[in-house]
């Protein structure tokens, strides 16, 4: 299996930029997902990286380094509605399985 590590909590200010890091074991790895989960709701898809590099999607960008077992999610121009948990999940091609990290709870303050 894969160990997925990410910080438990982060706090940032409205309008600022925040980077949420995620590290994983590379054994069996074949891609990395980021999901957003608001309190009491289901996770929703943000991004999927399978190749090295940065993928930008509006205010959100995701980066992957396969050799380093490292990814980050970058949120720009933070809004209060961005307060949520952000889940990093490693994808294992053998069985189309996701292994989730514990999630990073982001609190955006005015």
Partner 1 sequence: EAGVAQSPRYKIIEKRQSVAFWCNPISGHATLYWYQQILGQGPKLLIQFQNNGVVDDSQLPKDRFSAERLKGVDSTLKIQPAKLEDSAVYLCASSRQGPGNEQFFGPGTRLTVL
8: left (phi over 0), alpha (psi -120 to 50) or beta: alpha
Using CB under 8 A as the binding rule, whether residue 99 contacts partner 1 is answered as yes
Using CB under 8 A as the binding rule, whether residue 74 contacts partner 1 is answered as no
d(CA 11, CA 47): 22
User: Which region among 14-22, 52-60, 65-73, 99-107 touches partner 1 (by CB under 8 A)?
Assistant: 99-107
- Candidates 16, 17, 54, 97; binder of partner 1 (CB under 8 A) is 97
- Nearest CA-CA partner of 78 in 20, 7, 8, 12: 12
Using CB under 8 A as the binding rule, whether residue 110 contacts partner 1 is answered as no
User: Which region among 20-28, 53-61, 69-77, 83-91 touches partner 1 (by CB under 8 A)?
Assistant: 83-91
Q: Least distance to partner 1 from the beta carbon of 77, Å? A: 25
d(CA 37, CA 32): 16
- Candidates 29, 33, 34, 72; binder of partner 1 (CB under 8 A) is 33
CB distance 52 to 58 below 8 Å = no
């Amino acid at each position: 299996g894969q160990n997925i590590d990410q910080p438990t909590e982060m706090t940032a200010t409205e309008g600022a930029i925040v980077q949420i890091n995620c590290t994983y074991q590379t054994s069996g790895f074949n891609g990395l997902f980021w999901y957003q989960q608001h309190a009491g709701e289901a996770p929703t898809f943000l991004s999927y990286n399978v190749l090295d590099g940065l993928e930008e999607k509006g205010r959100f960008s995701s980066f992957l380094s396969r050799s380093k077992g490292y990814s980050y999610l970058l949120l720009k121009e933070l809004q209060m509605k961005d307060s949520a948990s952000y889940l990093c999940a490693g994808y294992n091609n053998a069985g189309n399985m996701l292994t989730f990290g514990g999630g990073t709870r982001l609190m955006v303050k005015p």
